[in-house]
Amino acid sequence: MSVQASTGFLYGDTPYLRIGTGPPLVMVQGLTPEHDIPTGWERRMILSSATPSARHFTVYAVNRRRGLRPTESMSDIARHLADAIEHDLGEPVRLQGTSTGGSVALQLAIDRPDLVRRLVVVASAYRLGPRGKALQADMAALIRAGHKEDAWSHMMTSMMPAPLRVPARPLARLATRSMVPADPGDILVTLEAEDVFDVRADLPRITAPTLVIGGAKDSFYSPELFEETARGVAKGRAHIFAGWGHARTAASKATRNLALGFMLGESDTRP
């Protein structure tokens, strides 16, 4: 099936890539160097992930809004997206968030349950695990020190199998050169917001049926965190892929199929 993609900005300067027809499905992306319309390899990855769902939904692949203010929290970041959904889409949506996008999606579902019909959280949980916090703190420190390419190559290689991380760093650093923006303000605000993000106590406020998809060998989260996130939601369940890491869980065809099947399910709770 051939789909036409369009791009632009939702209310409040939230970048999106849109494909498909049908009811709205909002897919919140993970960490990216810039909060902007995706191009190049990033666009190709998003299209690969979103195209199967575009057969059934109008898919909005969104990022955080541009120009985040210093000290904005995850609740602030989620509110920007909630405002965009309310203003431009005008109805409750199916919501999927991957990695950092999962943190945004959880926060939105907590703060604005009236806007979420179904929720899928991929490679994310109610808080980062200890290693995930350390990895993202290292990344933020490298960016602040002016070593932006090293920061992104460090993050990329951290998701590889341990024996490959050190040998892959020079190539990863080369690959990230074109990704690094002149102004890292948005990514630093996002990293700081996720560093203190912990919504375990608020999970019962989520009313939408929820699926948490994780990998047992995720560098940023533990299987226990995935399972605790699902248990904290009244209509939550978890699927853990044995032996899978963060990147494989986020990008695999199996994850896409599992998420789509859940999104197509019945018994939505919103009118």
Q: Where along the chain do its domains lie?
A: 5-127+198-263, 131-187
- The percentage of residues in the chain with a pLDDT greater than 90, rounded to a whole number, is 78
CATH number of 5-127+198-263: 3.40.50.1820
Strands (E), 104-247: 116-122, 210-215, 236-241
pLDDT at 36 over 70: yes
Range in 84-88, 89-93, 177-181, 243-247 the model is least confident about: 177-181
Report the distance separating Cα 179 and Cα 48, nearest Å. 19
Phi, psi of 111 (to 5 degrees): -80, -30
271 pLDDT exceeds 50?
no
pLDDT at 179: 64
Closest CA to 30 of 229, 246, 208, 201: 246
Residue that wins the pLDDT comparison between 246 and 150: 246
Would you give the DSSP letter of residue 127? Answer: B
In 3D space, the residue among 176, 175, 154 whose CA is nearest the CA of residue 165 turns out to be 154
pLDDT score at 178? 59
DSSP-H helix ranges across 148-197: 148-158, 162-176, 185-195
Q: Please report the pLDDT score of residue 216 as a whole number.
A: 97
Closest Cα to residue 54, out of 96, 99, 23? 23
pLDDT value at 2 more than 60: no
By DSSP bridging, strand 24-28 and strand 14-19 are unpaired
Task: Give mean pLDDT, residues 49-78.
Answer: 96
**Region of 9 on the Ramachandran plot (φ > 0 left; ψ -120 to 50 alpha; else beta):** beta
217-246 pLDDT, tens digit per residue, is 999 999 999 999 999 999 999 999 999 999
The pLDDT of residue 83 is above 60: yes
pLDDT at 267: 47
pLDDT digits (tens, 9 = 90+) for 4-28: 899 999 999 999 999 999 999 999 9
Report the chain's C-alpha Rg in angstroms.
17
pLDDT number for residue 165: 66
